[in-house]
Amino acid sequence: MNPMGIFGGTFDPIHYGHLRTAFELQQALRLNEIRFLPAGNPPHRDQPIATAQLRLEMVRAATQGQAGFVVDDREVRKIGPCYSVETLAELRHEYPNRSICLIVGMDAFLSLPKWYQWRELLQLAHLVVAHRPGWRAPGMGPLGELLVDRGTGRINDLHEARAGCIYIHAVTQLEISSTDVRQLVAVGRDPRFLMPDAVRKLIIEANCYTKTRIS
């Protein structure tokens, strides 16, 4: 079976930058499915503004009807901090023979050494890095070395092994971030066309970002 893509994020809220990236990777890498995993209580960053339940609902609304897009709520259901390495270990246990591709944006990849047990990740999954505007792949340091060791330009490597490779893929650059969306809503502007309408509707109904503090 073709590899499974894992796309984790805070998704506070989900937007077209996420969705287009997932779709392009699904097609280019011939991924059997893309599993969206909204984070429950992310340990390595600030707490989200919208509740985990609402972020999950937004991800469900955004992905509904897209073949191969699946929502996995395990991190939202978990109480206490939730580390990617633990989630991946669970998935590895459930799918012992499947190739698993953990999808991250370049910004997330650059912060990888701050993740809990980050070196274990490649024993459990491949890493697929989506290029984001303004970010460049590291040439030095631990990540630069890791790229020399584990980097590949062959999509077939992601199909032939279950884990262990790093593949960098350029996606259409959509300079949208959840932070910008939240700030826009906070100043009373309309986030239309930055995300599916169903997500925009949930944001308006829940009135969740109107009090976002602008830094």
Question: What is the binding site for ligand ATP (CB under 6 A)?
Answer: 9-12, 17-18, 21, 104-105, 107-108, 130, 132, 171, 174, 176-179
- In terms of CB distance, is 28 or 174 closer to ligand ATP? 174
Residue with tokens 């976002």: 212
Smallest separation (angstroms) from ligand ATP to the CB of 108: 4
Instruction: Pick the closest to residue 161 from 126, 130, 129, 121 (CA basis).
Output: 126
- In terms of CB distance, is 110 or 165 closer to ligand ATP? 110
Q: Do the Cβ atoms of 56 and 36 come closer than 8 Å?
A: no
Smallest separation (angstroms) from ligand ATP to the CB of 209: 11
Smallest separation (angstroms) from ligand ATP to the CB of 96: 25
- In terms of CB distance, is 21 or 26 closer to ligand ATP? 21
Smallest separation (angstroms) from ligand ATP to the CB of 97: 26
At 55 the three-state DSSP class reads: helix
Between CA 39 and CA 37 the distance in angstroms is 6
Instruction: Pick the closest to residue 8 from 138, 174, 152, 130 (CA basis).
Output: 130
